[in-house]
Amino acid sequence: MAAYEFKALDGRGKAQQGVLEADSARAVRQQLREKGWAPLAVEPAREKQKQGGAFVRRAGLSAGDLALVTRQLATLIQSGIPVEQSLAAVAQQAEKAKLKSMVLAIRARVLEGYSLADSLNEFPGAFPRLYRSTVAAGEHAGHLDLVLNRLADYTESRQESRQKIQLAAIYPVILTVVAISIVIFLLTYVVPDIVQVFVKQGQALPVLTQALLATSSFLAKYGIYLAAILIALGAGFRMALQKDNTRKRFHRMLLDLPFISRLSRGINAAQFASTLSILSSSGVPLVDAMRIAGEVLSNDFLREKVQESAQRVSEGTSLHRALEQMGYFPPMMLHMIASGEASGELDQMLERTARNQENDLQGKIATLVGLFEPLMLLLMGGVVLIIVMAIMLPILNISNLVH
């Protein structure tokens, strides 16, 4: 049976769409008519996706959806349910039409005799290469249920880490937006009206007040143009990063900048260690695991260096030595890998390394967020203090003249 996407009108004339499984499009139309619906269009899900190539290549799943599907599939297969029936059950559970269509299309491929990994290749945008390679290794080793459970743990932990970071960043972002908005409002509307009173009286303004008034006047006249320039610079920067050479130079610079370099290296080390751990423990050969893990990295320069390290490992160099020659991964991570190679327990040590790097990264992010909040409050307080002083100085001058 294959998956078909349909569009139809129900008995009330309301448009309906969804996915049904049947032997043919004709059978789907018959099912719709039996429900009292008038079929408008019925197309094989996979054929529709192939015709719209952008859908196949770019359609993705959110981290939450991917974790949910993986956990459901792992639980069902571990219970002894065949893969095609497990996929059908996952599709029935899916609430989103796009996700249901995708799972049924994968099931159709499995029913045609393809492996689960080959079926997942139809959706590279939804299932990363790491995911597909791990599933392929599990099928080859005959431990698909264990591999899927490990993938489910991995995707859920990544989703949990992402949510923690997002929640931690909400308050600083709101604080920054509110602070900037208040300062702009004060400089654009409040300060000019108050200072204008002293100007009309012919009073000489203090230097601080004059500077603040000039800043306020500049923002009132050219604020829109300044915002447009900043937006244009941001767009130009993004366009420049689309070029491989420019992006690679920028990513290399991030690895050497003070403060930023520690966070950038920590993020990439955690990504690499986590990916290499799950691939290696799932039976993927070490060199292949390194190459796949390298592609997962967000830093293009490090990605290229990891590929070079993989080549050195294929030529006989030990893993920790090859990574050490890069010079960008933490010494603790390298020592743990070296210990794992020496003891013959590389898989277990890679797993410990991955947990250590994830914990270290979360600690760094928590520290940065914790420092950002008081620094932002101090900066905001300093700006407000300057504005208040600029307003109060003319008033104090008048009081001195009166006395």
Give the per-residue pLDDT at 48.
Answer: 47
What's the pLDDT at 58?
47
Confidence of residue 16 (pLDDT cuts 50, 70, 90): confident
Q: Which of 266, 263, 326 is nearest to 290 (CA)?
A: 326
Q: Please say whether the beta carbons of 6 and 18 come within 8 A.
A: yes
Least confident of 85-89, 285-289, 394-398: 394-398
Q: Give domain 148-403's CATH number out of 1.20.81.30, 3.40.228.10, 3.40.50.410, 3.40.50.11540.
A: 1.20.81.30
Pick from 212, 179, 181: nearest CA to 380: 179
Q: Please give the pLDDT value at position 59.
A: 55
Do 58-147 and 148-403 come out as alike in CATH topology?
yes
For residue 228, what pLDDT is reported?
92
pLDDT tens per residue across span 37-49: 888 788 776 544 4
Integer Cα distance of 260 and 133 in angstroms:
32
Q: Counting beta carbons within 10 angstroms of the beta carbon of residue 383, is it exposed (0 to 12), middle (13 to 18) or buried (19 or more)?
A: middle
- Rounded to 5 degrees, φ, ψ at 307 are -65, -40
| Residue spans per domain, the chain | 2-55, 58-147, 148-403
Is it the case that residue 232 has pLDDT exceeding 90? Answer: yes
pLDDT value of position 53: 42
Q: Which of 199-203, 233-237, 259-263 has the lowest mean pLDDT?
A: 199-203
Task: Look at residue 126 and tell me whether its pLDDT is greater than 80.
Answer: yes
Confidence of residue 54 (pLDDT cuts 50, 70, 90): very low
pLDDT at residue 362 greater than cutoff 80: no
Q: In the beta sheet, which residues pair with residue 3?
A: 21
CATH superfamily membership of 58-147 = Type II secretion system (T2SS), domain F (1.20.81.30)
Token representation of residue 340: 């794992």
Contact status, residue 293 vs residue 276, Cβ threshold 8 Å: yes
User: Which pLDDT does position 356 carry in this prediction?
Assistant: 84
Tell me the per-residue pLDDT of 189-220, one tens digit each, with 9 for 90 and over.
777 777 777 667 666 777 887 887 788 788 77
Residue 51 has a pLDDT of 44
Q: Is the pLDDT of residue 225 over 50?
A: yes
How far is the C-alpha of 289 from the C-alpha of 1, rounded, in Å?
Answer: 35
